[in-house]
């Protein structure tokens, strides 16, 4: 199921001015309950809340400001977590699976990491000082006639163009590109990671099939990207890629687990590249 969802889901910023059906809303709340109990690869859980809106106004009369980039959402899901490297990866991981689950219902969504009123939402949820709101998710039924700003944003972000497989996947080290036909059982999971969404379509993930047979995930930070946010938004992107990999691996019968490899013997010469975690297949 997830492979098909990953291949076909697109970020939606223009929604029909139509409420969510009772049946879909019930299922969404069940998915939300699962999300709030889910942990990512590092074992951390985030907190999420759903806010129904009408014309961006919630039941308390508060406006969820998104600077004009979202049209007619039926609501938002707001996520909160610690401003910590592991927590941010786990946030991206669990939230992406939730969005794929919504897409299975025909409910569209998109990631919003920088274009919303973070201060208002932080006040509304009276968060612990160590928590931040890394991203929110508008949702609703996709308007087949996207707004001008949606088309413009997709074009500016170059959202429909992804880096080649050999640009993000490597064989044993970060200098030797991996061809698809050399990826063996990992071809589909790696491809699903490759095509994932990311902030400004920067696609910071890099994956290495090591000599040890493990798949090692690295992040290639974009220098100075997202500094104004005061957290590393590209760590969310890594969680997304890892969620795609794991979901696809499960679907095609590759069982395994996430682990951190201490003293990993893969040289990293680029100061912007950092090791995150590895996938170990259970033979």
Residue intervals in the chain for CATH 3.40.109.30: 165-281
Q: What is the DSSP letter of 94?
A: H
Residue intervals in the chain for CATH 3.40.109.10: 2-151
User: Is the CB of residue 156 less than 8 Å from the CB of residue 201?
Assistant: no
DSSP for 228-281, please give it.
GGTS-THHHHHHHHHHHHHHHHHHTT--EEEE--TT-------TTEEEEEEEEE
101 vs 2, 71, 98, 109, 236, CA distance in Å? 9, 22, 5, 11, 18
Angle in degrees, CA 236, 237, 241, rounded to 5: 120
- Mean pLDDT, rounded, of the chain: 92
pLDDT tens-digit map of 56-68 = 787 777 788 776 7
pLDDT values of the chain reduced to their tens digit, one per residue, 283 residues: 899 999 999 999 999 999 999 999 999 999 999 999 999 999 999 999 999 988 778 777 778 877 678 999 999 999 999 999 999 999 999 999 999 999 999 999 999 998 788 888 887 776 677 899 999 999 999 997 766 666 665 555 555 689 999 999 999 999 999 999 999 999 999 999 999 999 999 999 999 999 999 999 999 999 999 888 889 999 999 999 999 999 999 999 999 999 999 989 999 999 999 999 999 998 7
Helix (H, G, I), strand (E, B) or coil at 152: helix
What span, in angstroms and rounded, lies between the C-alpha atoms of 147 and 136?
A: 20
What span, in angstroms and rounded, lies between the C-alpha atoms of 7 and 159?
A: 14
Task: State which CATH number among 3.40.109.30, 3.30.70.920, 3.40.50.720, 3.40.30.10 fits the domain covering 165-281.
Answer: 3.40.109.30
**CATH placement of domain 2-151:** 3.40.109.10
4 vs 1, 92, 103, 139, CA distance in Å? 6, 20, 11, 20
What span, in angstroms and rounded, lies between the C-alpha atoms of 103 and 98?
A: 9
């Amino acid at each position: 199921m997830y492979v098909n969802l990953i291949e076909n889901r697109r970020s939606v910023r223009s929604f029909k001015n139509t409420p969510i059906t009772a049946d879909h809303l019930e299922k969404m709340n069940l998915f939300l309950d699962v999300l709030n109990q889910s942990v990512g690869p590092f074992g951390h859980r985030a907190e999420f809340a759903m806010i129904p809106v009408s014309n961006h106004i919630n039941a308390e009369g508060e406006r969820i400001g998104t600077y004009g980039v979202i049209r007619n959402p039926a609501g938002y899901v707001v996520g909160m977590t610690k401003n910590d490297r592991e927590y941010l990866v786990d946030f991206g991981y669990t939230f992406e699976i939730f969005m794929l689950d919504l897409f299975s219902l025909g409910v569209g969504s998109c990631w919003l990491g920088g274009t919303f009123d973070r201060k208002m939402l932080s006040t509304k949820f009276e968060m612990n000082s160590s928590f931040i709101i890394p991203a929110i998710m508008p949702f609703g039924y996709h308007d087949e006639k996207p707004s001008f700003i949606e088309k413009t944003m997709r074009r500016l972000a170059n959202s429909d163009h992804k880096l080649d497989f050999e640009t993000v996947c490597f064989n044993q080290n970060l200098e030797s590109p991996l061809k698809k036909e050399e990826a063996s059982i990992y071809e589909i999971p790696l491809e699903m990671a490759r095509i994932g969404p990311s902030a400004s379509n920067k696609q910071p993930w890099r994956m290495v099939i090591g000599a040890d047979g493990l798949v090692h995930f690295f992040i290639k930070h974009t220098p100075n990207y997202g500094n104004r946010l005061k957290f590393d938004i590209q760590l969310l992107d890594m969680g997304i890629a890892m969620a795609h990999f794991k979901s696809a691996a499960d679907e095609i019968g590759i069982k395994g687990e996430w682990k951190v490899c201490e003293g990993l013997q893969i040289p990293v010469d680029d100061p912007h590249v950092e090791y995150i975690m590895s996938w170990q297949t259970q033979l």
